[in-house]
């Protein structure tokens, strides 16, 4: 158990911890503790770069979703971040799982997660994905294209049975970046309502007795901070459900509205209010179904980033400080191999010096990674103390989602470890990837 020194530092305007885990506290000497564990202790024990995950924050966010959607089903989107401990936490907190591959599915089931509480997604499911899903008894499969219907039906066999949903495209623009908007026409996901593709696929599924169509699925994109797109999606999908009821006398019992719930990466940024979201979605769904004369389907949502993201912190050591003309570059021992999101989507973070208290005024710098790419930027144009120097420890909050899950082996530096913190204790969840791990796969000599 770690004994923490008393907090003495006063809050200043540049000392905003609003995007940090709720357990974060200030310590003497400029350090921070998360889950009652000093971040400097984590860096010393496990090295850097490292991901820190606050177990309490993960659990609290799971509970909040269960509270605001008490009559619905909440599936944790595994693609945001997955490891055995995360599977265990999610199961204990009463959530289901949304997976996108045989790998995610097998990790979950071999950890003890009930397969019937798992939904398999994917715009291009491989034979292994589908074989594994059927072998393990996955609860539902989301059909993303017409060609999947025959493939799944053939794998299930004439005497088998599989529950499926159809992913529909409502034609709604939503999401924080064009590369993560999935509810619009002319992108790779789902079947269009507007051109009739969704309706045609549904009719084909109804002709397959071994496939049970239990509902519709709709995912608008990621990093959505407004409720309005979700309400528009409800209206369009309920309209489709109403037409199906009239034309084919079918009543679909489930509606999966996906996830994409936006979070704040820096103080002052907008985040989606999920309490408001839950209230207004329920009202819109109930009103729309009443007007259409159809029963209200059970609602399912799939938060991933909104659960894992704010619970994570990335730790880096400063290697180089370089002043070039009017720019100051602070190079750290990680970068795009452990977080490609700034390069992919232009994501902005708010790194912070921890481990020492600086009296120097702030200077605008760009925190860059160690990799051989000009686009290897961790955080552009951010304020850090003017005396930032090699050896300093930087902490980047809101690093729990799409960091390790999107990490790569670029430059063979190895992916960082994941360290869980809770109640004053730190424990390793995922060890650092070693050179032996990387070279062990190379058998071509």
Indicate which residues carry an active-site annotation.
372
Nearest partner of 72 among 294, 259, 288, 308, judged by Cα: 259
Please list, in sequence order, all residues whose beta carbon lies within 8 angstroms of the beta carbon of residue 65, skipping any fewer than 6 positions away. Answer: 74, 95, 274, 301, 303, 307
CA distance 347 to 397: 13
SS3 string of 207-249? CCCCEEEEEEECCCECCECCCHHHHHHHHHHHHHHHHHHHHHC
Please list, in sequence order, all residues whose beta carbon lies within 8 angstroms of the beta carbon of residue 147, skipping any fewer than 6 positions away. Answer: none
CA distance 433 to 416: 7
CA distance 204 to 92: 38
- Provide DSSP, 59-114: HHHHHHHHHHSTTSEEEEEGGG---HHHHHHHHHTT-EEEE-SHHHHHHHHHTT--
Residue 5 burial class via C-beta count within 10 angstroms: exposed 0-12, middle 13-18, buried 19 and up: exposed
- φ, ψ of residue 360 in degrees (nearest 5): -75, 150
Contact 50, 85 (CB under 8 A): no
CA distance 298 to 71: 8
CA distance 384 to 361: 8
Nearest partner of 303 among 337, 264, 272, judged by Cα: 272
Q: Directed axis angle between helix 55-68 and helix 274-292, to 10°? A: 30
Contact 429, 42 (CB under 8 A): no
CA distance 274 to 370: 37
CA distance 116 to 183: 27
């Amino acid at each position: 158990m770690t004994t923490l020194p008393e907090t003495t530092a006063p809050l200043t305007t540049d000392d905003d911890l609003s995007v940090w885990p709720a357990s974060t506290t200030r310590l003497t000497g400029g350090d921070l503790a998360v889950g009652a564990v000093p971040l400097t202790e984590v860096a010393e024990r496990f090295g850097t770069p490292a991901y820190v995950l606050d177990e309490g924050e993960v659990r609290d966010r799971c509970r909040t979703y269960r509270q605001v959607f008490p009559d619905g089903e909440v599936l944790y989107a595994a693609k945001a971040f997955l490891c055995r401990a995360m599977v265990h936490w999610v199961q204990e907190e009463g959530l289901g799982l949304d997976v996108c591959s045989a790998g995610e599915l097998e990790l979950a089931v071999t950890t003890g997660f009930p397969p019937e509480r798992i939904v398999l997604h994917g715009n291009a499911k491989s034979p292994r994905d589908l074989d594994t899903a059927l072998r393990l008894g996955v609860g539902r499969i989301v059909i993303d294209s017409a060609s999947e219907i025959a493939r799944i039906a053939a794998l299930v066999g004439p005497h088998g049975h599989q529950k499926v949903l159809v992913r529909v495209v409502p034609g709604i623009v939503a999401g924080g970046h064009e590369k993560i908007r999935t509810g619009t026409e002319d992108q790779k996901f789902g079947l269009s309502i507007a051109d009739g593709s969704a309706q045609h696929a549904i009719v084909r599924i109804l002709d397959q007795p071994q496939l049970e169509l239990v509902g519709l699925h709709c995912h608008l994109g990621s990093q959505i901070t407004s409720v309005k797109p979700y309400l528009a999606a409800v209206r369009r999908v309920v309209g489709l459900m109403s037409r199906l009821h009239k034309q084919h006398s079918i009543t679909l019992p489930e509606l999966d509205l996906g996830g994409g719930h936006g979070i704040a990466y820096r103080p002052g940024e907008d985040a989606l209010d999920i309490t408001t979201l839950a209230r207004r979605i329920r009202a819109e769904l109930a009103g729309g179904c009443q007007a259409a004369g159809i029963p209200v389907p059970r609602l399912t949502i799939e938060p991933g980033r909104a659960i894992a993201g704010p619970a994570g912190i990335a730790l880096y050591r400063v290697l180089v400080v370089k002043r070039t003309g009017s720019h100051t570059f602070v190079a750290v021992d990680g970068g795009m191999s452990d977080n490609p999101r700034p390069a992919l989507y232009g994501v902005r973070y708010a790194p912070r010096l921890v481990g020492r208290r600086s009296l120097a005024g702030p200077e605008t710098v760009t925190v860059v990674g160690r990799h051989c790419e000009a686009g290897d930027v961790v955080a552009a144009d951010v304020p850090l103390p003017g005396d930032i120097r090699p050896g300093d420890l930087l902490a980047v909050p809101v690093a729990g989602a799409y960091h390790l899950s999107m990490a790569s082996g670029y430059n063979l530096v190895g992916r960082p470890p994941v360290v869980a913190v809770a109640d004053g204790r730190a424990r390793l969840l995922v060890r650092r990837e070693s050179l032996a791990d990387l070279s062990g796969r190379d058998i071509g000599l």
